[in-house]
Structure 1
């Protein structure tokens, strides 16, 4: 099991030709290795003056079917899979004229790169699914006792270096490590194809994005490290951030994801920065109109829409200036200099991160005076990812992403009074923001701004009380009457006491999912207080 294996014959067939000419030349000139090769790889090596035996001469069979069939042959796979220590294997190889192949150097058709192109056709994608390459890699990796397999150009120097030390041989340990790398690559490749094909089927069926992800029986996540972080949630925790690789980004990333955003300035993002920036960025993209979210510890302490983002920022900041200190600002439009001047000069607000599609040059000029402020440009504000995953002890939870995509025509209005147009606008605003508040969640809004938030309490009436108190404080601070308020609840009211609390604090309209066994009591409470209420028939928990 631990013996070295001398390399006498190598099969080289690569899409990524980085370094392959120098690798092949060293194999031939330094170690006398015979090279077998295919198509474009053979042409590149021959052009460089490296002696090559074309695959059709080795197998005695021509390439056919537009190159779909060229290495799927017993002389290739027999030469890879034969056990050199088996008399029967070697006798059968001799009987059928099968020569041993000691090294396979293969990397695959660039499927992931192909399907990442916006205009790629189904037929072109299919033709970039490699069949022979993975087959050779897997055969060689299975027989790593006797065969060296290389699927990554970064391993060329490692293999050559070991051959120089061991007189043209590789060690068993190296062969096993390279084999393990092969199976990781082929697993990721096959999963990328599966995800792409399912995504294509979803597009054909025009399935809504919030329900188009159907959890499979098996699911392999392919992640690539984006960067190491200084630490995790706390300084004693090690951490790194990973991005979805290649085709995985189609379901795990939006069109304008946080990971991959351009960091224009500022210190490296921390683990907590990334969590909060992600929550803020997802929240602000729920709105079509200009919107600003100020988020702290995963909750939107400031939220507003307006005719422009500077006005939206002013109104969001006014919701809770105390909590806004040290928060994250998310904007769904290009950031103008006026917005920066308002938070930096007028309000003197300390901000950890500001994230937006883009920034005006004059805004960046002013932001540059706060060198530690992290400035992220995502390039757009479109769409959401399709899935989200959370690790738990022993596995992962996987679900489709929650978005506010309810059809208003399907809402029900169970109370005597229906909401006015102004109340309806505030209810829909509150409903979108409430989705981003930690459950149990209550959000009170007025005139397109979230003025009171009750997040994460173990019972809903305490969340309602907290939201009402903050709304009252906000109204006093802004000099407006604490009346005509709209309230959103992320799940149903279990008792009428929630409605009674809200009524005492100026709420005149409520939006909630409904579905409680005591809905009738809550409807009666609303009628008693002349409150208009909407049932959406969908909840938005956020744990």
Structure 2
């Protein structure tokens, strides 16, 4: 039995090769792997000795030779193949242990050049892997060091590797090479600055963990992360305390983080089931927490809290008595961590670059039955040049600040969505209604129920899409709303404008809708 070994990741390879050699396997190797095994005292044949042809072009050509690929691809059950091997004086290669040039590690390096990236595109490795995988019935192919023990166990216990295991190893090869090629294609697309949607969409992610279950206990789930720069994302979080993150934790925390990135000033965002339930901004983070918490003391129970400032001891003392599932921040004071770690189930996440937004051209993906719909992320709030006051009454400077604050919130509220705000604090949120006026009324009802009578007096209202009728203005007037911001664009815009003028309410159009389904 002959094994060809050529690995970039040399984890466990010496021990594996030594065990194979003791089982009577003849080892052939290339380049750095050959040197490594030889230095460890193993008997190894160099690839050029097998092929009769020297490695050349700075190692670019080593294994691309008929004596390698014929030895791998020959079907042992085919008499003609066996006869041709004898005539050509080619021996079989029965095991291929290969992993590829470190393309991912190369492109993740700071200031990597295109030349370095291209030079780390493996050619011979994928060719050998695919050849061996295609002939899986006769050839054992190993791409993952984690499978070394699997192979050795069967060889020691059964004298060979079972067909079932060979088939499993074959599958891993094609998953591995598919991932490798996708990384290359994605890198080249970004390197060219190509923002178009490709004719064939291939994407690759790395599994972070299996989860106990998905949205519900009867659903299976896992968490995967993109390959690349993940600054400011939950995939880049360092968990400092608590149970492992669940499917819902990750989904809800991601939504809270995306809203948080809209703010530069000290801000706290509380979310529940994918919707913001309390948002506060102020000159310091403790005051921002007070606003976010007092906006909805009920819904924050079992929710997600994220902040864009360091969690201090004082802030930790305020948050600790409240039952929240996840607390994420760019950093934590040591004394704050001590307080938070007393709550064993509280998931504490440190996200170093929490303010860094997703790249504008990043994809938003939604699975539908039989397909996938893909769009670029909603990376804008509005175009400053298109914002205009459409009523006789203009907002005050303070009201305008609150209008922009409310629009940031409603952008992340499930449609139809309405957000009410006052003094950079959310005071009422109406998410996910099938009728916009219901969302408006709900936001007012929640504000009064949670914050008391008068909570909406003098507040502002933001809508994620235009008002189809003037009934939302009626609801706003009854609640004491003084200014409204919405995209505009309805054929009945004039009805809402006239109603605002009648009530003395200022209205601002942004020209940009923010549906979130």
TM-score range for the pair, normalised by the shorter chain length: over 0.9
Question: Counterpart in 1 of 2:174?
Answer: 183
Asked whether the equivalents of residues 213 and 400 of structure 1 are also in contact (C-alpha less than 8 Å), the reply is no
Flag the 1:322–1:28 CA change in 2: closer, same or farther, 3 A: closer
Question: Counterpart in 2 of 1:233?
Answer: 215
Deviation at 1:215, TM superposition (A): 5.6
Flag the 1:21–1:521 CA change in 2: closer, same or farther, 3 A: same
Question: Counterpart in 2 of 1:47?
Answer: 39
1:189-338 equivalent positions in 2, closer than 5 A: 189-202=180-193, 212=195, 214=197, 216-229=199-212, 231-234=213-216, 236-244=217-225, 248-250=226-228, 254-338=230-314
Cα separation, 2, equivalents of 1:526 and 1:362? 51
Asked whether the equivalents of residues 286 and 403 of structure 1 are also in contact (C-alpha less than 8 Å), the reply is no
Flag the 1:480–1:237 CA change in 2: closer, same or farther, 3 A: closer
Asked whether the equivalents of residues 268 and 374 of structure 1 are also in contact (C-alpha less than 8 Å), the reply is yes
Flag the 1:215–1:413 CA change in 2: closer, same or farther, 3 A: farther
Asked whether the equivalents of residues 243 and 345 of structure 2 are also in contact (C-alpha less than 8 Å), the reply is yes
Cα separation, 1, equivalents of 2:152 and 2:40? 19
Secondary structure, aligned partner of 2:270: strand
Secondary structure, aligned partner of 2:427: strand
The one-character-per-residue Cα deviations of 1:50-96 (angstroms, maximum 9, x if unpaired) are: 22222222222222222112211222112211223334333443444
Question: Counterpart in 2 of 1:482?
Answer: 457
Secondary structure, aligned partner of 2:254: helix
Question: Counterpart in 1 of 2:429?
Answer: 453
Asked whether the equivalents of residues 427 and 455 of structure 2 are also in contact (C-alpha less than 8 Å), the reply is no
Flag the 1:160–1:362 CA change in 2: closer, same or farther, 3 A: closer
Cα separation, 1, equivalents of 2:456 and 2:157? 83
Question: Counterpart in 1 of 2:18?
Answer: 25
Cα separation, 2, equivalents of 1:468 and 1:26? 72
Flag the 1:177–1:491 CA change in 2: closer, same or farther, 3 A: same
Cα separation, 1, equivalents of 2:110 and 2:465? 39
Deviation at 1:480, TM superposition (A): 6.9
Cα separation, 2, equivalents of 1:508 and 1:298? 28
The one-character-per-residue Cα deviations of 1:318-354 (angstroms, maximum 9, x if unpaired) are: 222232333221111111122222334xxx4332221
Question: Counterpart in 1 of 2:64?
Answer: 72
The one-character-per-residue Cα deviations of 1:102-155 (angstroms, maximum 9, x if unpaired) are: 111101111112212223222111111111100000011111122111111222
Deviation at 1:405, TM superposition (A): 4.3
Asked whether the equivalents of residues 275 and 431 of structure 2 are also in contact (C-alpha less than 8 Å), the reply is yes
Asked whether the equivalents of residues 78 and 93 of structure 1 are also in contact (C-alpha less than 8 Å), the reply is yes
Cα separation, 1, equivalents of 2:28 and 2:409? 62
Deviation at 1:221, TM superposition (A): 3.8
What is the Cα-based RMSD across aligned positions, in Å? 2.4
Cα separation, 2, equivalents of 1:329 and 1:281? 9
Cα separation, 2, equivalents of 1:480 and 1:175? 68
Flag the 1:50–1:481 CA change in 2: closer, same or farther, 3 A: closer
Cα separation, 1, equivalents of 2:485 and 2:455? 23
Flag the 1:119–1:240 CA change in 2: closer, same or farther, 3 A: same
Deviation at 1:216, TM superposition (A): 4.9
1:55-454 equivalent positions in 2, closer than 5 A: 55-167=47-159, 169-202=160-193, 212=195, 214=197, 216-229=199-212, 231-234=213-216, 236-244=217-225, 248-250=226-228, 254-344=230-320, 348-381=321-354, 382-384=356-358, 386-454=362-430
Flag the 1:85–1:482 CA change in 2: closer, same or farther, 3 A: same
Secondary structure, aligned partner of 1:324: coil
Cα separation, 2, equivalents of 1:530 and 1:96? 94
Flag the 1:287–1:368 CA change in 2: closer, same or farther, 3 A: same
| TM-score, structure 2 as length reference | 0.92
State how many pairs are aligned: 514
Deviation at 1:425, TM superposition (A): 1.0
Deviation at 1:505, TM superposition (A): 2.0
> What 5-or-longer segments of structure 2 have no aligned partner?
none
Cα separation, 2, equivalents of 1:432 and 1:38? 57
> What 5-or-longer segments of structure 1 have no aligned partner?
1-7, 206-211
Flag the 1:270–1:22 CA change in 2: closer, same or farther, 3 A: closer
Greater Cα offset, 283-292 or 153-162: 153-162
Flag the 1:67–1:370 CA change in 2: closer, same or farther, 3 A: same
Question: Counterpart in 2 of 1:527?
Answer: 501
The one-character-per-residue Cα deviations of 1:154-178 (angstroms, maximum 9, x if unpaired) are: 22222223223344x3332222221
The one-character-per-residue Cα deviations of 1:376-418 (angstroms, maximum 9, x if unpaired) are: 2122212237234344434444433323343312334333344
Secondary structure, aligned partner of 1:321: coil
